[in-house]
Each structure stands twice: as C-alpha cells, then as structure tokens.
Amino acid sequence: MENVKDLDPEIYALVKQEEKRQSDKIRMIASENYVSLAILQTTGSVLTNKYSEGYAGKRYYEGQQIIDQVEQLAVQRAKDLFGAEHVNVQPYSGSPANIAVYLAFLNPGDTILGMALPHGGHLTHGAQVSISGRYFNAQAYELDAVTGLLNYDTIREKTLAVRPKILIAGHSAYPRILDFARFRAIADEVGALLMVDMAHFAGLVAGGVHPSPVPYADVVTTTTHKSLRGPRGAMILCKAKYAQAIDKAVFPGIQGGPHDNTTAAIAVALKEASSAAFKEYARQIIRNAKTLAQSLMAKGFTLITNGTDNHLMLVNLTNKNISGKRAAKALDKAGIVVNYNAIPFDTRKPFDPSGIRLGTPALTSRGFKEKEMLLVSDFIEKVIADPDNDLFLQQTAEEIRILCSNFPAPGLEHLCKPESK
C-alpha cells in the first residue's frame, strides 16, 4: 500500500491499524470472517474501473467482453455449488437482495411473514424500523417461550391466520437448523412463496454440513461473506420460472451497475468453497461451535436453546449479572470481539440487551480448533467475572495477541510472527 501511504497517510494509517486489530484479536462476530489474499487482490483489481448496467450479453455500455465472462463464471459456479436453477450475483449486499425479492413479487401493503427481529430474525424480514416493515404488512412469528426453539405448529397457525404472499425462513441469531421441508409445506397451504435467507449459513450449506434450502424454496438469498468467506456482496438463487422477475427487480428495479470487482471476487470465493479444504473448514466451524457451547454451559452460562447446531450461539447473561453491552465492551478490551444481542423475550432495551452473540467462522479461518475453543471459553468466563478490571483486561488482551500470533489470519499472514508465553 505504498501508493496509499504517499497519497493519503491518514487513510493508510487507519488501514494499518485495522489490519493490526484484525490480526491481534479473536473476532467472534458471527457475520464476519477473513477472506483469502486472492479475494482481497481481486476486490482491489482494475475491475473496479468498469461500469456494466444490465446482464451478460445485454449491457447498456460497450467494453463488456471481459466482464460478461466474469459474471457468467460467478453465476455458473453458484449454480454448480448450490444446485440452483438460476442465480443473480449482482446485489450489492444482503439487504438489497431481500428488498429485490419483495419488489419482484409484492405490492405495497402485501403481507409477509418472517421471524421476529428480537427472536433472531433480520431487519429486512419485516422489522418496523426497516423498509420491509414500513412498505408491507409485516407479520412475525416468535420462538417458543419455554424451549427457545421454533414451533412449526405455531408458525403454521400464524401463516393460516395472516395468509402471507411470502413466508420467510432464515435468521441472524438462531443457533439451530431450520426445517425447510416443514416451511415448504406451510407455505403451500396458503399458496405463499417460500423465501429462505441463508446469509448466515451459506458456507455451511456449501461445505455439506447444513441442509440446503435450495430444493425447497422458491427463492434463496444470501450474502457472500459470513460463513461463505467471500467479499461483501450477495446473491439471489431461484427457480427458473422466477428468473426474469428476480433479474428485473435487481436491475433496473433497485440498483444500477453491479460492482464488477465484487462479482469477480464472488467467483473466486465460490471456487474456494467448492474445494475439499473448504468442506473440512465447514466441519471445523461446527466442531468449534459445539465445543465452545458445551464448555460455556459447563461454566454456568445460559445458552439459548441449550447449544448450537450451526456456527453461532446466543448467550443469555442474566444469571451473570451483567448486560450484553457491558460484557461486549469488556470482552473487546480483552481482545475478544463479539456483539451484544437481544435474546427472545428480552426485558432489556435493544441497545443494551441481555445477551451476546458468538460465532466461530472467523477464528476457524485462522486455524483455531477444539483446544483453542476451550481457551476462548476460559477467557470469556474470566472477563465476564471481572469486567471492570482494566489491568486484567489489558493483560488478557496481550495473552490473546500472543495466541493469535500463532494462528495467522488469511490475508494478514505477513503480520504474524509466532510467539509463545
């Protein structure tokens, strides 16, 4: 980055500080990951110079001979990896992808039904603060108050009562596997389209350790980062009969030209995700999550649903006499990055909720395994027990920096010189 250093030393310094932060800390935000150096290089390539409104073979600008091939590669690799009939790789991110689906099939005021935001859903699944909740008649289903799990009988009753045009399955903070066949059957009872948002678990699907929603859903949306370990972008997968509606909704419906550098980086990520190494990576994500969940519960932590089947877990800190926000801030000072998160039926405010969300994709990308998960569990327990001891938090951060130095982060290998203590 010498050119950046010469031209803009302020931005250069901030980028270098962020490199160090990502290298020195254990990153456990479930929606974050590390991309490979190949993906970093592709994202920063000359493809960022191109503008490509339209689709391959039907562009509004000339000079698309190379770009068309890039997009076709990304589309074909996504089809092959997920078994989809049609794929659109142009959405800028997951939220625009979801909005494009609504634009394709709904009119303002039509009914949608998704998981309630405080219960693990996403803003774009109908939260009132989102456009999805303001422009549509957004209804929500909740988790069972006793088990903390989805109750499909209750979801069916709600669906029959509100008769949505789109039934949404998917989550941002639910630690269990969804029953896609059951969702399909419920949608069929009222003639609703079934949309699955697999943004969080797409990498697990690609790795073969999580059931695929593609055979069951009319439309599947996903981001390309998170567990899929690609650039910040998104895709929409759908049945062939919905291809035209989806493509028109993305362009010209909600956005202009795609980010061609991101499209190419998505293609690289999909190639990586089709490898045997990625399948082992996905298996290790699950092993790490289960090991960490079991260790935390053994230490007296309360986990929503008493464990996890995927890459994340939701911890209720009420019995630890600390709020999620206070815990997350203390953990960050100690070198562990998480996000505070509402829990089902939370009595605290959303900006200072009762829980924290933990994820294992990023630390698994560094090579952490079960042994390291037990260390992470120990760190978390000690920090939560003494969150205001700044000296202790600083000492813990140094211990974690030394631990991380032995597990270079993808794309940041040049920063790590293995240390021991």
**Active-site residue list:** 51, 53, 197, 223, 226, 232
Q: What does each C-alpha distance from 364 to 53, 134, 284, 298, 330 come to in angstroms?
A: 37, 38, 7, 22, 23
Sign of CA dihedral 328, 330, 331, 333: positive
Distance from CA of residue 26 to its chain's centroid? 17
**Lookup: tokens for 198:** 């697999």
For residues 167 and 144, give the distance between their C-alpha atoms in angstroms, rounded to a whole number: 18
How many C-beta neighbours within 10 Å does residue 415 have?
16
Q: What does each C-alpha distance from 370 to 37, 94, 298, 397 come to in angstroms?
A: 25, 31, 15, 20
- Bridge partner residues of 45 (DSSP): none
**Lookup: tokens for 148:** 């903390």
Alpha helices by DSSP H, 349-389: 361-365, 370-385
- R_g of the chain, CA atoms, integer Å: 22
The contacts of residue 251 (CB under 8 Å, 6+ apart) are: 53, 54, 55, 90, 257, 258
3-state secondary structure of 158: helix
For residues 119 and 276, give the distance between their C-alpha atoms in angstroms, rounded to a whole number: 35
Nearest to 356 by CA among 336, 376, 379, 340: 340
CA angle, residues 285, 288, 289, in degrees to nearest 5 = 85
The contacts of residue 205 (CB under 8 Å, 6+ apart) are: 82, 198, 211, 212, 213, 214
Query: Long-range contact list for 61-69, CB < 8 A, 24+ apart?
Result: 67/260, 67/263
- Bridge partner residues of 411 (DSSP): none
Altogether, the residues listed in the chain come to a count of: 421
For residues 80 and 78, give the distance between their C-alpha atoms in angstroms, rounded to a whole number: 5
End-to-end CA distance of the chain: 32
**Lookup: tokens for 247:** 């493509």
3-state secondary structure of 347: coil
